[in-house]
Structure 1
Amino acid sequence: MFFPQDAVQLHYPVLETGFTASEIQELLSLFESPTRSPDSGLEGSNSNSNSNSNRVVYSVDERKRRRMISNRESARRSRWRKKQHLENLEVEVNRLKIQNQELKKLLGSVLGQCHVLWRENDQLTTEYLGLQARLSDLRHALVAMHSK
């Protein structure tokens, strides 16, 4: 059993369990054996045991109530985070839709310019071939004039 010299001294709340140091001390005191005097019979230990068991039941109920409140709060925070995440995703979707529309417009503009340049390139190629043929004809004529 626990003896006064074995008592655990906690200076800070124990965060892992959600209990404060005084609550842990109270729970630990429930496990300590009651000091019985020789003249105290079973009645004294039963009445002490009943009062301790009432305190244990209360502590268990209190712990359940706290856990339920904690779970509700955790669920509320989880729902809020999920809602925030969903809103952030919706904003991102809208931003990407706008960016997609702008890129489609830009692509259309670039393709339009590309078609204009292809047509201009075709015209210049045709003009080049015509001028090259004319130059070739002029060379033949010049060679023919020199050979006479």
Structure 2
Amino acid sequence: MTSRQNISSDSEKDYLMVDDKKKRRMVSNRESARRSRMRKQNHLDELLTQVAHLQKENNEIVQHIDSTTECYLQVDTDNNVLRAQMMELTDRLQSLNSVLFVLEEFTGFPFDIPEIPDPLMKPWQLPCHSQPIMASANMFQFR
């Protein structure tokens, strides 16, 4: 019977050893799974932070584009007004030159009638008086 007891004792030890290994593996697997979940959660938190940062940055860019577009539209409007004024003044000058030409023909007295410059050909050569150009600091808002 002693040999039976030895066999049963050995098998019990083997069973306890296997059971102990199994328990240690389960604990190790649980710990590994817990660490994996923590890494996954940390990664998700980092991604959410990055999304919030990129959304904020995108909103700032959109606001900058909107303000730049608003400035552009204002400058374009001002430019159109100036073009219309230039056309009106050019028409007036042509009318006055026509009157001077008729007077020159009628009186025989020579008038110095300047040629009307074409501002689209050489705008840098336009005769202009020294007049200050008014501008404000917030006219161009660049960052």
- Structure-1-length-normalised TM-score: 0.59
Tell me the equivalent position of 1:55. Answer: 17
Aligned partners of 1:82, 1:54: CA distance in 2, in Å? 41
Which is helix-richer, 1 or 2? 1
Offset of residue 50 of structure 1? 2.2
Aligned with 1:128 (options 73, 90, 95) = 90
For the aligned residues, what is the CA RMSD? Answer: 2.6
* Residues 1:65 and 2:65 aligned together: no
Sequence identity (%) = 15
Give unpaired runs (5+ residues) of structure 1. 1-39
Q: Which residue is 1:31 aligned to? A: none
Displacement of 1:145 in angstroms is: 7.7
| Paired position in structure 2 for 1:27 | none
- Give the aligned residue type for 1:79: Q
Matches within 5 A, 1:1-148: 43-136=5-98, 138-139=100-101
TM, length-normalised to structure 2: 0.61
Q: How big is each residue's C-alpha offset from its partner over 1:24-56, in whole Å with a ceiling of 9 and x where there is no partner?
A: xxxxxxxxxxxxxxxx95554443222112111
Residues 113-145 of structure 1: CA distance to partner in whole angstroms, max 9, x if unpaired? 111111001110122233234445655666678
Distance (whole Å) between structure 2 residues aligned to residue 51 and residue 139 of structure 1: 128
Pick 1 or 2: higher relative contact order, CA cutoff 8 A, min separation 6: 2
Partners of 1:131 and 1:59 lie apart in 2 by 105
Aligned residues: 107
CA distance in 2, matches of 1:139, 1:84: 80
Could you list the runs of 4 or more consecutive aligned residues of structure 1 that deviate by over 4 angstroms after TM superposition?
A: 40-43, 136-146
Q: Give, in whole Å, the separation in 1 of the partners of 2:105 and 2:9.
A: 137
Q: Distance in 2 between matches of 1:92 and 1:84?
A: 12
After superposition, give the CA deviation of every residue in 1:52-75 in whole Å (9 maximum; x if it has no partner): 121112111211111111101110
